[in-house]
Chains A and B, each alone.
Chain A
Amino acid sequence: MKAGSALLEAEGLVRRYAMRRGLLGRAVEVRAVDGVSLKLERGRTLGLVGESGCGKSTTGRLVLGMETPDAGRVSFDGAIMPQPGSVAWRAMRARMQMVFQDPLGALDRRLPIATQVGEPLDIHGIGARAERAARVETLLRAVGLRPDQGARYPHELSGGQRQRAVLARALATDPALLVCDEPISALDVSIQAQVMNLLVDLQEQFGTAMLFVSHDLRAVRQVSHRVAVMYLGRIVEEGEPDGVLHEPAHPYSRALVSAIPHPGRAGQRIVLQGDPPNPADRPSGCAFHPRCPVATNLCARETPALKARPDGRLVACHVAHGEVSAGQGHTRQEAA
C-alpha cells in the first residue's frame, strides 16, 4: 500500500441544477455543490457531514464520476475521470464503488443475493465461472452473512443483512475507493453500530479508501481519519475528527456538535435561528451568516475562504480566523 500518495483528488467541484418554480417562474439556478475540493489517501476515510440538502451526497456522486461536474475536476489515481457511461468509465467502476442509504432499493428484488454479489465479477469478467462462486462465498462471510443466505431474495433479509449484502457486492471487485452515502441512516439503531464496526473491519482487511457521507457527526467520527463539514454546497471546516468534535472552529460546526445528545452533560445547545438553508436562494457573503450567532457585517459582504489555521485545521470563517471580532448575529434580510 503506497500510503501517502493521494488516491482521489477533487478540485473546485461545482454542480448546478436548473430548477423551475411555478408556471411563470424562470429557471432558477441551484448550486448544489459550489467549489468543493477534497483529497483522499489510500486506505483512509474522509467523513463528509452536513444537514440534508447541503450537497454532500452530490459531492459523493461527483467524486465517483456518476455525475459530471459543471466546473472543477476529479482525478482518481492520477487519471482524470472519464465521461459517465463510457467504456473507460464502466471499466473504472471495478475500482470505485458506492454503498447506498436504502439497501432494499439498491438491490434487485428479483435476483437472489449471491447472484447480485457476484454480478460485478460477471460484469468485469473477473475470475473463471467456478472461482466466482467461491469468491461470492468469501465475500458473504467477510460481511458477516452465511453462504446459504446467498440463495435468499432481498425482501427475505433484514435491513442490516441487506446492507451487508450491498457491502459485499461493492467489495466484490476489491475496489480502491468506497463511497458510503448515509449507509446506516435507514437502519435500526441497534444495527447501526454493527454496520459501522463492519466498515472499520473491512477497511482494515481490504485497505479500501472511504468517503463516508453522513449527517451524523458521531458516526462520521467513529470511522473517519479526517472530517469535512459542508454547508450549502461548500466545505466550511475540515480537520481531524477529534479536533473538530471537541473544539469546532466554525460556528456551524459548533451548532452541529452541540446538537449531539450527551449523557451527563446538560450543555447549552445552540439552536440555529433563521431559515433552513435553501440552495436556490443563497445568502450573500458567507452563506451561513443569516443563521450565525456571531455574524458581522463583513460576513454578509464577503465570502470567507477555506484557509488553514496555525494548528492545521481548515476553516472558512472570518471570525474564526480573527479577521473580525465576533458580532451579535446578522439581522435577517427579507426573503426575496
Chain B
Amino acid sequence: MLRFLATRLARAALTIAMVVTFAFVVLRLSGDPAQIIMGADAPPEAVEAFRTAWGLDEPIWVQYLSYFWAILQGDLGRSMRDGRDAIVLVTERIPATLALTLPALAIKICLGIPAGIYAALHRNSLADRVVMIIAVAGFTVPSFVLGLLLVLVFAVQLGWLPSGGQESWRHGILPVITLGLGGAAVLARFTRSAMLEVLGQPYIRTASAKGVPWRAVVTGHALPNAAIPTVTIIGFMVGTLIAGAVVVESVFSWPGVGRLLVVAVANRDLAVVQCILLLVAITMVCANLIVDLLYGLLDPRLRAAPRKAA
C-alpha cells in the first residue's frame, strides 16, 4: 500500500510539474510579454525596465528554473494589471465559487445517481425513457443557454429571482440550478450505463438464480460494483469545484474564480491565468488521488494489482 501511495504521489507531482512547464513554455512561445503588457507604442526604456523588473532579460533556462523555484516557494507572481499577488486575487474569489459549486455538486449527486440507478433497474420503462431524454438534453444544452433560459423565465418573465449579481442567497439559486442540472444529467447517464453493465454480468445472474432476494442482489452486488466507474466521474466533478463554473459565473455575473479567469484571459493578465491554471491542476490531481485511494477500498482487485504505472 505504501508503494502504491508513493507511485501515485510521484505521478501527481509529475502532472503538476507538467502543468507548470506547460504554462512556462506557452508563456514564452506567445511572444514578448513585456511588449504585450506595455503595448506596441510604449517607449523602449519603459519596456526595458519592465523586462528587468520581471526577469525577462535572463537566459531562458534561468528563467525556467527561477520560475519553477518561485512556484515551489508559493510565489505565483503578481497581477500584471494592478500589481497585487495573483494568489491573493485568486484565493479571495474561491469562497464565492464554492458557494455555487458545492450546492451544485450536492444536486448532481442527489439527483443524478438515484435517477441513473432507477432508470437502470427499470430499463425501457417510461421512467427510464424520461430520465434518458432529460439526460441527453442536459448534455446537449450548453450551460449558458440553460442559464439564460432560466433567467428569461424566472427573472424576466416571472420576476421571481434576480438575474445576476451576488447580493443575497437568492442570487445564487439560478446559477446553482444551472450547474446542478447539467451535471446531474451527465451523472445519471453515466450511472445508468455503469449499472446496466454490472447487471449484465454473470455473477448477478448467478446471485439471483441461486435465490438471493433481488433487493439484496442490487444492494450487495450491483451497487458496489457500479460505484467504481461512478466514483471516477464524481472525482472529476470534485476536481472542477474551483473552476467548474467559468461559463455560469459569466452568465450570472457571479464574482468567482471563473469570472476572474475570463477577465484575466481577456486582459491577458498572465500571472492570474497561470495561478488559476495551477490551482485547478492541483485540485484535479488531488481529486484523482482520492479517487485512486477510493478505488482501492471499493475494488479489492486493484489493491493487489493497480493500473500499470503511466
Q: Do chains A and B touch in the complex (CB under 8 A)?
A: yes
Residue of A nearest to B302 (CB): A23
Give the docked Cα–Cα distance between A22 and B303 (Å): 9
Question: Which residues of chain B have C-beta atoms less than 8 A from A22's C-beta?
Answer: 304-305
| A14-49 interface with B by 8 A CB criterion | 22-24
Contact with B along A183-224 (1 / 0, CB 8 A): 000000000000000000000000000000000000000000
Give the docked Cα–Cα distance between A22 and B3 (Å): 12
B4 at the A/B interface (Cβ < 8 Å)? Answer: yes
Give the docked Cα–Cα distance between A23 and B305 (Å): 5
Contact with A along B1-38 (1 / 0, CB 8 A): 00110000000000000000000000000000000000
B44 at the A/B interface (Cβ < 8 Å)? Answer: no
Question: Which residues of chain A have C-beta atoms less than 8 A from B4's C-beta?
Answer: 23
**Distance to closest chain B CB from A60 (angstroms):** 28
Question: Which residues of chain A have C-beta atoms less than 8 A from B304's C-beta?
Answer: 22-23
Give the docked Cα–Cα distance between A24 and B4 (Å): 9
B306 at the A/B interface (Cβ < 8 Å)? Answer: yes
Question: Which residues of chain B have C-beta atoms less than 8 A from A24's C-beta?
Answer: 3
Residue of B nearest to A24 (CB): B3
Question: Which residues of chain A have C-beta atoms less than 8 A from B305's C-beta?
Answer: 22-23
Give the docked Cα–Cα distance between A23 and B296 (Å): 12
| A210-251 interface with B by 8 A CB criterion | none
How many residues belonging to B are interface residues under a CB distance threshold of 8 Å?
6
Give the docked Cα–Cα distance between A24 and B306 (Å): 10
**Distance to closest chain A CB from B296 (angstroms):** 10
Residue of B nearest to A21 (CB): B305
Question: Which residues of chain B have C-beta atoms less than 8 A from A23's C-beta?
Answer: 3-4, 303-306
| A86-132 interface with B by 8 A CB criterion | none
**Distance to closest chain A CB from B122 (angstroms):** 38
Give the docked Cα–Cα distance between A23 and B304 (Å): 5
**Distance to closest chain A CB from B303 (angstroms):** 7
Give the docked Cα–Cα distance between A23 and B4 (Å): 8
Give the docked Cα–Cα distance between A22 and B306 (Å): 9
Question: Which residues of chain A have C-beta atoms less than 8 A from B306's C-beta?
Answer: 23
**Distance to closest chain B CB from A236 (angstroms):** 34
Contact with A along B215-239 (1 / 0, CB 8 A): 0000000000000000000000000
Give the docked Cα–Cα distance between A256 and B131 (Å): 62
**Distance to closest chain A CB from B306 (angstroms):** 6
Give the docked Cα–Cα distance between A22 and B300 (Å): 12
**Distance to closest chain B CB from A208 (angstroms):** 41
Among B3, B303, B304, B306, max chain A CB count under 10 A is at B304
**Distance to closest chain A CB from B250 (angstroms):** 45
Give the docked Cα–Cα distance between A24 and B3 (Å): 7
**Distance to closest chain B CB from A26 (angstroms):** 11
Contact with A along B250-293 (1 / 0, CB 8 A): 00000000000000000000000000000000000000000000
**Distance to closest chain B CB from A9 (angstroms):** 38
**Distance to closest chain B CB from A20 (angstroms):** 9
Residue of A nearest to B1 (CB): A23
Question: Which residues of chain A have C-beta atoms less than 8 A from B303's C-beta?
Answer: 23
**Distance to closest chain B CB from A276 (angstroms):** 22
| B155-182 interface with A by 8 A CB criterion | none
**Distance to closest chain A CB from B26 (angstroms):** 36
**Distance to closest chain B CB from A113 (angstroms):** 36
Contact with A along B104-130 (1 / 0, CB 8 A): 000000000000000000000000000
Contact with B along A57-84 (1 / 0, CB 8 A): 0000000000000000000000000000
**Distance to closest chain A CB from B240 (angstroms):** 30
**Distance to closest chain A CB from B248 (angstroms):** 42
**Distance to closest chain B CB from A28 (angstroms):** 14
Chain A interface (Cβ within 8 Å of chain B)? 22-24
**9 interchain pairs, CB-CB under 8 A:** A22-B304, A22-B305, A23-B3, A23-B4, A23-B303, A23-B304, A23-B305, A23-B306, A24-B3
5 closest A-B pairs (Cβ-Cβ)?
A22-B304, A23-B304, A24-B3, A23-B4, A23-B306
6 other A-B residue contacts (CB within 8 Å) besides A23-B3, A23-B303, A23-B306: A22-B304, A22-B305, A23-B4, A23-B304, A23-B305, A24-B3
